[in-house]
Amino acid sequence: MGHKDDYDSTGKTKGQAEKARWTVLASFFALGLCLGVVVAERVYVQKRALIPKPRQLVSTVSNALHSVGHHAPAAPRNELEAYLMQIAPNKELLLAVANKNTMWDGMLDTFTQGIKRAKVANHMILALDQQTADWCKQNGINAHFMNLTIAATQQGTGDNHAVSAMKFGILKNFVELGWSVLLSDVDIAIFQNPFENLYRDSDVEGMTDGFDEHTAYGSIEGFDDPSMGWGRYAQYYKHFNMNSGLFYLKANNRTLDLLTRLAYRLSHEKYWDQTAYNEEIFFLSHGSYKSPQVSVRVMEIDKFMNSKRLFKDIRHRPKSQQPPLPVMVHINYHPDKHERMKAVIKWYIGGDEHALDAFPGGSEKGTR
C-alpha cells in the first residue's frame, strides 16, 4: 500500500492522474495540429486558385501587351487601314519599301515575281513615288503610295541607306494599326510562302548576317587577361548582327516602342539603320536606361539564307549534302545584287546547276 499522500481525491495515484492529463493534452494537440493542417491546406489551395498557372500568366501578360490596335473599329481609321483590311484581313503582311530606282534594272519585277511564285496574297509594296505605285498596280501587285521626305540627317548617305532608314517610321504606321509585318528588302529571291515558315513565338523574328551556326545562333567565347592572375579568365556571348532587311515584327507595345526609338534616332542621327536596329534590340538595360526588351528569334540560316552562306558554302557542297529549297535568299553580302538574284533563281528552280559558277564567293575576283 502506498502512502496516503500518493493518492488524489478519486482514489487514483498521482502518477496515474498526471499520465491521464498528458494523454488528454496530447490528444488535443494532435487534433489541433490536424485541423491546422487541413485549414492551412485549404487556404493555400484557395489562394493558389487565384494565381494563374505559368502558361495562363504568360497569356495574360501577352494579352495586355498586345493591345496595340487589337480592336475591331466600326470603320477603318484611315486609308491605309481600309486597304490593309482588304488585302491582309488576318493582320499579317509581307511589306517591301521601294521607289522607282528599283524598277530601272528590273529588280522590283524579279522580287514581285517571287511573291507571285510563292502565292503570298497578303503582300504590299510601300511605294515612295507614284511611278512605283502605278507600275505595281499594272502588274497585279498590291501597292500603297506614301509621300515621304528623307530626313536631313540621312541626306548624302546614298539612296539605299536613306530609304532604308525611313522604314522604321513606316512600319510604325502598320504596328499602331495592329498589323504584324514581315519586312523584306527587294534584293531577295522568294521561293516559298514565308508565313508558312515563321514560329511567331517572339516579338522580333529576323534573318541573321551570320553564315554558320556559331556566327548566326551565338557562342560563348573566352577572354584571357594574364595580369588578373587567379581571375584572368572570363567569358562573353558573341553572335553576328541581325539583318535589318528581313524581319518579322509582332504588333505589340514592345515592338511599337522599338520602332518609335528607331524612327526618332534615324531622323536625328546620321547612322546606319542596321547598327541602330541591333543596338536597340540587344543593348541591355542598365542604370537609367531601359531597353525595349523585345524577345528575339533568329531565323533558320538555311531557310532564310544570306548570300554569303550560299555563295561561300552551300553551293560548294555535294548535292546530297545541300539543304532543301530555302524560303528566301537575301543577296545582302554582294554588290551585284540583281545579277546574283536572277542566277540564284535559275540555280534553285530553273534547272541550271551551273548558274552560280560565274560568280566568285566574295565580291573579289577569284575568291571561293
7 contact partners, CB below 8 Å, separation of at least 6? 13, 14
Q: Is residue 176 within 8 Å of 227, Cβ to Cβ?
A: no
pLDDT for residue 152: 61
Supply the range of the domain harboring residue 114: 76-349
What ranges make up the beta strands (E) of 157-278? 180-184, 188-190, 204-208, 219-224, 233-238, 242-249
pLDDT for residue 344: 98
Q: Which residues of 322-353 are buried (b: 16+ CB within 10 A; e: fewer)?
A: eeeebbbbbbbbbeebbebbbbbbebbeeeee
Q: Which residue has the cell 566568285?
A: 360
Residue 284 CB neighbours (<10 A): 8
Looking at per-residue pLDDT, the higher value among 28 and 348 belongs to 348
pLDDT for residue 20: 66
What ranges make up the beta strands (E) of the chain? 92-98, 123-127, 143-145, 180-184, 188-190, 204-208, 219-224, 233-238, 242-249, 296-298, 304-306, 328-330
Least confident stretch, 14-23, 68-77, 91-100, 253-262 = 14-23
**CA–CA separation, 261 and 271 (whole Å):** 13
| Within-domain flag for 368 | no
DSSP state of 93: E
| Within-domain flag for 343 | yes
**CA–CA separation, 10 and 172 (whole Å):** 92
pLDDT of residue 355 exceeding 60, the answer is: yes
| Within-domain flag for 187 | yes
pLDDT for residue 76: 87
φ/ψ (deg, to 5) at 221 = -110, 155
Average pLDDT over residues 133-138: 98
Average pLDDT over residues 105-120: 98
| CA neighbor of 275 nearest in space, from 244, 229, 306, 246 | 244
| Within-domain flag for 34 | no
Least confident stretch, 135-139, 161-165, 226-230 = 161-165
| Within-domain flag for 38 | no
| Within-domain flag for 4 | no
pTM: 0.79
Split at pLDDT 50, 70, 90, the class of 47 is very low
Split at pLDDT 50, 70, 90, the class of 24 is low
The count of domains in the chain is 1
**CA–CA separation, 281 and 336 (whole Å):** 30
Average model confidence (pLDDT) for the chain?
87
| Within-domain flag for 100 | yes
End-to-end CA distance of the chain: 114
pLDDT of residue 302 exceeding 80, the answer is: yes
Q: Which three cell numbers stand for residue 81?
A: 487601314
**CA–CA separation, 167 and 126 (whole Å):** 10
| Within-domain flag for 254 | yes
CA angle, residues 160, 164, 169, in degrees to nearest 5: 150
CATH number at residue 345: 3.90.550.10
φ/ψ (deg, to 5) at 198 = -100, 150
Split at pLDDT 50, 70, 90, the class of 109 is very high
Q: Is the dihedral of CA 321, 349, 303, 62 positive or negative?
A: negative
Average pLDDT over residues 83-97: 98
